[in-house]
Amino acid sequence: MAVEIERKFLLSFIPDNLKIQERKTIYQSYLATGKEEVRIRRVEWEDKSKFYMTYKNRLNNKQGREEIEIEITENTYHQLNNKSVPVIKDRLVIELGNGLYAEVDIFKNIGFELKTVEVEFKSYEEAEGFVPPDWFGRELTGTKEYNNQSLWMKVNGRDS
């Protein structure tokens, strides 16, 4: 099981001079919520689509989670997601240098404007030593109200 180590920040704007490596639209729903979560995603880019199911388990720190992700068929995705409204977000992948990438998410259907950026790291030391660029806003790592699961629950009229 891989460990995902990341930090998340709020964005008030996205600078025009960023070199975007990749653009995609993500439709994300949850089958299980809480400390352990199971989510499904439809990811679209250019004229392609892929479907995933991911299990995540929060570790005892705010930066790390165990993660298992598998690709599923479109049919399986629709069977699993037949009754919920997905969170929809556009994702921009931006190279930061030193082997790091920023994933900028622009949320589309959550009832308010929200842009966030996440950076994944290879180690906790790398995460702790990371100095965010000036265009990153307030850190949201570990803030429940801004995590994707809580946003999905709001979109679907559930308490988080």
46-72 burial, b if ≥16 CB within 10 A, otherwise e? eeeeebbbbbbeeeeeebbbeeeeeeb
Name residue 71's beta-bridge partners: 52
Q: Are 143 and 7 a contacting pair, CB within 8 Å?
A: no
Decide if 53 contacts 72 (C-beta within 8 A): yes
Residue length, the chain? Answer: 160
Would you call 55 a catalytic residue per the annotation?
Answer: no
Q: Which amino acid is at 77?
A: Y
CA 116 → CA 8, 26, 48, 51, distances in Å? 7, 14, 24, 22
Q: Which of 22, 80, 23 is nearest to 51 (CA)?
A: 80
Catalytic residue among 30, 52, 101, 124: 30
Residues carrying an active site annotation: 30
